[in-house]
Copies of this chain bind each other. A is one copy, B any other.
């Protein structure tokens, strides 16, 4: 593994586990067992590392988003698809832990992030349209934008929201809970099947917690 890749790999671990703000360039070089000078040879600074990590995240997320085209046609598909998105976000969770700071500090990155969020929103919107076409959902058109916004909000701030609670969940449990939370947003639009689907989801959710 090349030093450049090792830097990205270890930085991601440190950022995710300890928080991005807490890690200095020297901390990262220590964790790698290399000198700060060497780190600077590969990356001009911490911001360059972060940009490198965002490159990976952006690429992977765009692949996931584009992979949904016409493939999510049932409530179960939707459940699985949410899982995939949330797991990708979890892999790069330090970005989402304090979005505000990062966007303030790196304006160029802020634009790329906003653009990615916009594509995410479009994808969610399309998925809802597909589910409506497949008659899995019946949504008042006037509520579509609001519902999309609400789903986006949950998909973007679930990690920060969890840190508001005293007893934080581990990753897998939190992802599961969040999928459930998002699915519940569309339960009222599932018509007759809504309550059944809800019961199955709750059973599934409760079972996974034991």
A residues in contact (CB < 8 Å) with B: 19, 21-22, 97-101, 103-104, 113-114, 117, 140, 142-143, 146-147, 149-150, 152-154, 156-157, 160-161, 163-166, 180-181, 184-185, 187-189, 195, 198, 202
- Interfacial chain B residues near A140, Cβ < 8 Å: 195, 198
14 sample A-B contacts, Cβ–Cβ < 8 Å, listed by A number = A19-B104, A21-B104, A98-B100, A117-B164, A140-B198, A142-B202, A143-B184, A146-B180, A149-B161, A153-B161, A156-B157, A156-B164, A157-B161, A160-B160
By the criterion CB–CB under 8 Å, are B157 and A150 in contact? no
Q: Which residue of the partner chain, among B21, B143, B149, contacts A198 with CB atoms under 8 Å?
A: B143
By the criterion CB–CB under 8 Å, are A100 and B97 in contact? yes
By the criterion CB–CB under 8 Å, are B189 and A114 in contact? no
A179, chain B: closest CB distance, angstroms: 12
Q: How far is the CA of A91 from the CA of B157 in the complex (A)?
A: 22
By the criterion CB–CB under 8 Å, are B164 and A114 in contact? yes
A76, chain B: closest CB distance, angstroms: 19
